[in-house]
Amino acid sequence: MRTNIDINDELLALAMEAGQFKTKKEAVEAGLRLLARKKIYDGLLALRGQLNWDDSDEGWAEVQAQTASQQDAAMALAQEPAPAYKAESAVARPAKRRRP
């Protein structure tokens, strides 16, 4: 989206130098991404002390087993049911030659 904005030249120069950006657009987009990422980080920090983290071998084995069972369930849901009828072969049979 094209937008015209008035940006402090000194601040932009400092940002471009710090990030080694080649264009003003790159510097502005990087700043916008940084702000968006900061909001996500703040949300993660708000969860501090509320998450149960288990990085033991037993914990990983349990997570992998749960993931495998969830994938199996998803595959079962994704499979089409068998048709109630018998389909004929889709291969075309060559026509019989008639003798003249």
Looking at per-residue pLDDT, the higher value among 64 and 89 belongs to 64
Average pLDDT over residues 48-76: 81
* Alpha-carbon distances, residue 59 vs 38, 53, 66 (angstroms): 30, 9, 11
The single-letter DSSP state of residue 48 is: T
- Euclidean distance between the first and the last CA atom of the chain, given in angstroms as a whole number: 73
pTM across the whole model: 0.46
Number of Cβ atoms within 10 Å of the Cβ of 27: 22
CA 64 – CA 60 distance, rounded (Å): 6
Q: What mean pLDDT, rounded, does the chain reach?
A: 83
Number of Cβ atoms within 10 Å of the Cβ of 12: 15
